[in-house]
């Protein structure tokens, strides 16, 4: 069931790579090391057993994908190549240029098509899941809307799997695909599935900065660029101002006048600190007045030294003159192009600057949601027979996800966990025949979907869906974004409640429910975001510690680093729906660490 084509799933945008503990580089990687890095990277807020399983199956994923024909990058000798990502000191990321997600998705899509051709799978393009149907407490089907003609349809099943991705678009502006949304997860939440850690969001440090109010989308510059790019701002505010005003070019600023602040603050990991750490450090520099673009919200990502380093190596290899700067630069640019060419091209198209000649400008942006539907070890939600996989579940990443591990987790869930656990569940239903859609449960679910659609379409308001989505995004970004405090979180809750009220009074949707109607489809999604947003702020308010991407200003060290509170918060927050988000009940799943000692995360 897909609102578009499966080839348009957000996964197609994944750029940098996918992790696996294969130790091809002989740099000391192992299952245990991947397990440890992931638990530490998530700031000790993930479930230990799940992460260990993830590390164990990681190597199989690569073999599976190669067998499906995924063209991973190879080294000179023909073996699969690796690169490094943030938060780790080994090279374990497998990649296909800057298009890893696209290649993985096409591999999976081809394999699925084979099954469609064999009659084993029936695919419904342009269909959106609108509600879950429960019979005797078990998930027994879904109600869908055909997005082309508006038909509401019933589908029965012995089990339901939600794989509908993350909810970063709650912020309106994010690096997620425009179609990413929370609706499928939210519908099952309202039918009894707990929602875990909603406030755990990843803000990615290397995105193209916001340029103005007209924008509807942000663009990621893959973390793989931090392998070779160095992040800096000027040491002097006066130089930042001169750059902002166009009086000084960044390439003309001397080395000793640049502040490579990640290398300065975190000498052990440098530019490869985890995303939450890098994002907060960029925000700190920009908030202190060192930002380098017109809005003051950008830092540089600079490839000049990598170009020289690679160029000299190439010149040496070819027996050419290593002191010929122009030759060295040309050779170095070729190497950078072969590694990141498509990303550089994308940057140039959007910003209209040549990143081979002048440093890129970057700023943190919303990118990934570690929170999601709560699942047990078997990936089943609190509704029997309803499973959640991929970014839609609360996943294995704790309070912060390390780069290249979302694809690893999604593929582990889909290829190596669910095929076993769902069979276990279905075993008890082996004698249940096909499930009829002519029951009162299906009827009621269908009716409530139709009512909601009619309510939205017939509302004679004056404001567009985007008006509400943008307003919601601004509240969430400003008051529940990279840093959070009790006062603003309380304000956010109140503002979201008022916005929700306004939405139902004043939404205006052109067209009818019986035709292709994108504003209508979007309005349904935004109405869910308006509820999730409140739970998000409530969750952030409840967790008074700082951990990973969740930074509570009230809980920080003297150096401004996140201060965890293991005594009171070593748990997963699992919220049970009770109508309004304000009535949601918090259940705490205690996190028990038997193999990894809880420590203060340090990347110094």
Ligand X SMILES: Cc1cc2nc3c(=O)[nH]c(=O)nc-3n(C[C@H](O)[C@H](O)[C@H](O)COP(=O)(O)OP(=O)(O)OC[C@H]3O[C@@H](n4cnc5c(N)ncnc54)[C@H](O)[C@@H]3O)c2cc1C
Catalytic residue ranges: 275
Residue of 179, 192, 384, 519 interacting with ligand X (CB under 6 A): 179
Q: Are strands 571-576 and 585-590 parallel, antiparallel or unpaired?
A: antiparallel
Residues in 91-130 that interact with ligand X by CB under 6 A: 100-101, 128-129
Reading phi first (left if > 0) and then psi (alpha if -120 to 50, else beta), residue 199 is in: alpha
- For residues 524 and 584, which CB has a smaller minimum distance to ligand X in the complex? 524
Q: In angstroms, what is the minimal distance from the CB of 421 to ligand X? A: 17
Q: In angstroms, what is the minimal distance from the CB of 98 to ligand X? A: 8
- For residues 404 and 532, which CB has a smaller minimum distance to ligand X in the complex? 404
Q: In angstroms, what is the minimal distance from the CB of 591 to ligand X? A: 22
> Where does this chain touch ligand X (CB under 6 A) — which range of 15-23, 52-60, 245-253, 334-342?
15-23
Asked if 3 is part of the footprint of ligand X (rule: CB under 6 A), the reply reads yes
**Nearest-CA neighbor of 402 among 277, 231, 543?**
277
Asked if 526 is part of the footprint of ligand X (rule: CB under 6 A), the reply reads no
Residue of 46, 183, 381, 517 interacting with ligand X (CB under 6 A): 183
**Per-position b or e across 527-551, b if 16+ CB within 10 A of its CB:** bbbbbbbbbbbbbbbebebbbbbbb
Q: Are strands 195-196 and 571-576 parallel, antiparallel or unpaired?
A: antiparallel
- For residues 2 and 363, which CB has a smaller minimum distance to ligand X in the complex? 2
Q: In angstroms, what is the minimal distance from the CB of 347 to ligand X? A: 13
Tokens at 187, concatenated: 């519908």
**Per-position b or e across 141-152, b if 16+ CB within 10 A of its CB:** bbbbbebeebeb
Residue of 165, 198, 364, 481 interacting with ligand X (CB under 6 A): 165
Tokens at 87, concatenated: 């938060």
At 406, give phi and psi (nearest 5°).
-75, -45
Tokens 């930002």 map to which residue?
291
- For residues 225 and 489, which CB has a smaller minimum distance to ligand X in the complex? 225
Residue of 4, 296, 519, 560 interacting with ligand X (CB under 6 A): 4
Asked if 14 is part of the footprint of ligand X (rule: CB under 6 A), the reply reads yes
DSSP SS3 for 555: coil
- For residues 183 and 546, which CB has a smaller minimum distance to ligand X in the complex? 183
Asked if 163 is part of the footprint of ligand X (rule: CB under 6 A), the reply reads yes
**Nearest-CA neighbor of 394 among 99, 103, 46?**
46
CB 180 within 8 A of CB 526: no
- For residues 17 and 234, which CB has a smaller minimum distance to ligand X in the complex? 17
Asked if 180 is part of the footprint of ligand X (rule: CB under 6 A), the reply reads yes
Q: In angstroms, what is the minimal distance from the CB of 364 to ligand X? A: 13
Q: In angstroms, what is the minimal distance from the CB of 412 to ligand X? A: 11
Q: In angstroms, what is the minimal distance from the CB of 251 to ligand X? A: 28
Residues in 477-506 that interact with ligand X by CB under 6 A: none
Residues in 388-447 that interact with ligand X by CB under 6 A: 390-392, 404-407, 410
CB 548 within 8 A of CB 398: yes
Determine which helix (DSSP H) or strand (DSSP E) holds 103, and give its type and residue range.
helix 100-117
Q: In angstroms, what is the minimal distance from the CB of 315 to ligand X? A: 31
- For residues 392 and 572, which CB has a smaller minimum distance to ligand X in the complex? 392
Q: What binding mask, one character per residue, do residues 199-238 give for ligand X by CB under 6 A, x or -? A: ---------------------x------------------
326: Cβ contacts below 8 Å, ≥ 6 apart: none
Tokens at 558, concatenated: 């003297």
- For residues 194 and 368, which CB has a smaller minimum distance to ligand X in the complex? 368
Q: In angstroms, what is the minimal distance from the CB of 129 to ligand X? A: 3
SS3 sequence of 5-74: CHHHCHHHHCCCCEECCCCCCCCCCCHHHHHHHHHHHCCCCCCHHHHHHHHHHHHHHHHHHHHCCCCCCE
Q: In angstroms, what is the minimal distance from the CB of 344 to ligand X? A: 16
Q: What CA–CA distance (Å, rounded) separates 186 from 179?
A: 15
382 forms beta bridges with: none
> Where does this chain touch ligand X (CB under 6 A) — which range of 180-188, 191-199, 498-506, 586-594?
180-188
Asked if 1 is part of the footprint of ligand X (rule: CB under 6 A), the reply reads yes
- For residues 400 and 546, which CB has a smaller minimum distance to ligand X in the complex? 400
Asked if 184 is part of the footprint of ligand X (rule: CB under 6 A), the reply reads yes
Asked if 9 is part of the footprint of ligand X (rule: CB under 6 A), the reply reads yes
**Nearest-CA neighbor of 310 among 280, 330, 286, 283?**
330
Distant-in-sequence contacts of 127-130, Cβ < 8 A, 24+ apart: 127/1, 127/2, 127/3, 127/153, 128/1, 128/3, 128/183, 128/521, 128/524, 129/1, 129/162, 129/164, 129/183, 129/184, 129/187, 130/183, 130/187, 130/449, 130/524
Residues in 253-282 that interact with ligand X by CB under 6 A: none
Tokens at 326, concatenated: 């122009």
Residue of 339, 367, 397, 522 interacting with ligand X (CB under 6 A): 367
Asked if 175 is part of the footprint of ligand X (rule: CB under 6 A), the reply reads yes
Asked if 164 is part of the footprint of ligand X (rule: CB under 6 A), the reply reads yes
- For residues 95 and 603, which CB has a smaller minimum distance to ligand X in the complex? 95
Sequence length of the chain is 604
Name the site residues for ligand X (rule: CB under 6 A): 1-4, 6, 9-11, 13-18, 100-101, 128-129, 163-166, 175-176, 179-181, 183-184, 220, 367-368, 390-392, 404-407, 410
């Amino acid at each position: 069931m897909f609102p578009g084509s499966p080839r348009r799933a957000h996964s197609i945008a994944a750029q940098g790579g996918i992790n696996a503990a294969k130790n091809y580089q002989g740099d000391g990687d192992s299952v245990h090391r991947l397990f440890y890095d992931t638990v530490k990277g998530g700031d000790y807020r993930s479930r230990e057993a799940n992460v260990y399983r993830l590390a164990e199956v990681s190597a199989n994923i690569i073999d599976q994908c190669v067998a499906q024909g995924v063209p991973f990058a190879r080294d000179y000798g023909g073996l699969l190549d690796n690169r490094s990502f943030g938060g780790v000191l080994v090279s374990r990321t497998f990649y296909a240029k800057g298009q890893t997600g696209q290649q993985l998705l096409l591999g999976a899509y081809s394999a699925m098509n084979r099954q469609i051709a064999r009659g084993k799978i029936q695919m419904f393009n342009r269909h959106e899941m609108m509600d879950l149907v429960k019979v005797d407490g078990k998930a027994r089907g879904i109600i869908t809307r055909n997005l082309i003609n508006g038909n509401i349809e019933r589908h029965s099943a012995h089990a339901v799997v939600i794989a509908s991705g993350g909810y970063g678009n709650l912020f309106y502006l994010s690096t997620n695909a425009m179609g990413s949304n929370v609706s499928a997860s939210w519908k099952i939440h309202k039918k009894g599935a707990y929602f875990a850690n909603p406030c755990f969001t990843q803000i990615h440090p290397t995105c193209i900065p916001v340029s103005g109010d007209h924008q509807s989308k942000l663009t990621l510059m893959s973390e793989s660029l931090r392998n070779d790019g160095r992040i800096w701002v000027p040491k002097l505010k006066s130089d930042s101002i001169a750059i902002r005003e166009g009086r000084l070019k960044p390439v003309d600023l001397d080395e000793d006048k640049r502040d490579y602040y990640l290398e300065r603050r975190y000498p052990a990991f440098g530019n490869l600190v985890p995303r939450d750490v890098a994002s907060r450090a960029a925000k700190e520099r920009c908030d202190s007045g060192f930002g380098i673009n017109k809005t003051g919200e950008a830092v540089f990502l600079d490839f000049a030294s990598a170009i020289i380093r690679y160029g000299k190596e190439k010149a040496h290899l070819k027996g050419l003159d290593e002191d010929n700067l122009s030759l060295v630069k040309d050779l170095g640019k070729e190497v950078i192009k072969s590694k990141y060419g498509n990303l550089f091209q994308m940057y140039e198209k959007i910003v209209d600057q040549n990143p081979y000649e002048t440093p890129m400008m970057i700023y943190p942006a919303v990118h990934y949601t570690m929170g999601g539907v709560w699942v047990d070890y078997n990936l089943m939600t609190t509704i029997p027979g309803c499973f959640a996989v991929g970014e839609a579940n609360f996943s294995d990443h704790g309070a912060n996800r390390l780069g290249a591990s979302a694809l690893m987790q999604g593929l582990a869930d889909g290829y190596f966990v669910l095929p076993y656990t769902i069979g276990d569940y279905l075993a008890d239903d082996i004698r249940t025949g096909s499930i009829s859609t002519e029951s009162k449960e299906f009827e009621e679910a269908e009716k409530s979907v139709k009512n909601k659609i009619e309510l939205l379409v017939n509302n004679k308001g004056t404001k567009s869906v985007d008006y509400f989505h943008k307003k919601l995004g601004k509240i969430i970004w400003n008051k529940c974004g990279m840093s959070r405090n009790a006062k603003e979180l309380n304000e956010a809750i109140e503002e979201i409640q008022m916005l929700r009220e306004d939405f139902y009074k004043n939404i205006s949707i052109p067209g009818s429910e019986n035709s292709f109607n994108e504003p209508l489809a979007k309005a349904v999604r935004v109405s869910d975001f308006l509820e999730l947003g409140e739970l998000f702020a409530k969750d952030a308010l409840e967790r008074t510690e700082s951990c990973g991407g969740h930074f509570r200003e009230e809980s920080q060290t003297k150096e401004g680093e996140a201060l965890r509170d293991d005594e009171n918060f070593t748990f997963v927050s699992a919220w049970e729906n009770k109508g309004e988000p304000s009535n949601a009940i918090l259940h705490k799943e205690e996190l028990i660490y038997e193999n990894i000692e809880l420590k203060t995360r340090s990347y110094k």
